[in-house]
A and B are shown apart, each in its own frame.
Chain A
Amino acid sequence: MNILLNGESQQVPDNITAAQLVENLGLAGKRLAMEINQEIVPRSTFEECVINPDDHVEIVHAIGGG
């Protein structure tokens, strides 16, 4: 299926969970936050959170800023 990941179209397996997506991206264990369709997905729910086709997924982290 297709999702919009950080603004870019991306193919991912059907019924992928947030945890699997993070794992596949090589970001497992990193300090990050996720929202799907502008709703926060708490890290504690990554395992059970199933991503749907065409979901807008944002994965963010902290960078330098003032």
Chain B
Amino acid sequence: MTAMTHDSGNDALIIAGKSYRSRLLVGTGKYKDMEETRLATEASGAQIVTVAIRRSNIGQNPNEPNLLEVIPPDKYTILPNTAGCYTVDDAVRTCRLARELLDGHKLVKLEVLGDEKTLFPDITATLQAAEKLVTDGFDVMVYTSDDPIIAKRLEDIGCVAVMPLAAPIGSGLGIQNKYNLLEIIEQAQVPILVDAGVGTASDAAVAMEMGCDGVLMNTAIAGAKQPVLMASAMKKAIEAGREAFLAGRIPKKRYASASSPIEGTFF
């Protein structure tokens, strides 16, 4: 027991030099209200929480609750995203606004989308935007496809974490290409997080059992019938998957091997 406690106690996720206990990162979109966002985020145990940057409502209800009052930056690491950006310039501009909004905060989630139907990343634009942002001093966590060559390029550019999709954003299909993901994990020198495509707790556990450093999700929690309960399930799945990865699973075999000894049988 001591060994287990010791191992899991030291098992921090380190991103851009900062240490996190939780390997579950959550988005804040698609919730029915701020209270549900707050409760689900708390239940998830997440320490890194994504937000989007959008125009303020001018002249409409200036007293509506602000997300950053519900998810305060002194309690959570806020990860502003570039969701909805289809060009390098829009993504870079969004990150600069986010940095100003969050008082010089450098950690951003870069995504440059290529297509509205699939929301797959535009890889060439993602590479260009990553270069610009890294040069500009940002700590870039980058959403990308499950292509190992591109994952390595993004790491070489200086991204602090590479985040391949498991399946299309919001699809809930789970990990579609385990072998690519495994290749990405095995070659990486930076944290690899599955970003997008998780549907339920077992998907998250599978990603962690494979050796992913973390999972970022939004729809799987916010879109569940009971988001707060699903947030709790995801927290456990991530922890279970991580511990199983560290423990080292048994090899798969085609035939049985008895659990009880043969010696000492009296029949």
Contacts and interface: CB of A to CB of B under 8 A. Distances in A.
Interface in B195-245: 216-219, 222
Interface in B15-61: 26-31, 37, 50-56, 58-59
Interface string B92-112: 010011101110000000000
Contacts of A35: 93, 96-97
Contact of B80 (A25, A32, A59, A62): A62
B56 A6 contact: yes
B66 interface: yes
Contacts of A40: 96-97, 100
Contact of A62 (B26, B27, B31, B67): B67
Interface string B178-197: 00000000000000000000
Contacts of B217: 66
A33 B100 contact: yes
Contacts of B81: 65-66
A41 to B, nearest CB: 8
B58 A58 contact: no
B28 A33 contact: no
A60 B28 contact: no
A5 B58 contact: yes
A32 B62 contact: no
Given A42-B100, A62-B51, A30 B31 contact: no
Interface of A: 5-8, 10, 25-27, 30-35, 38, 40, 42-43, 58-66
Interface of B: 26-31, 37, 50-56, 58-59, 62, 66-68, 78, 80-81, 83, 93, 96-98, 100-102, 169, 216-219, 222
Given A62-B80, A66-B219, 6 more contacts: A33-B100, A62-B66, A63-B52, A64-B29, A65-B27, A66-B218
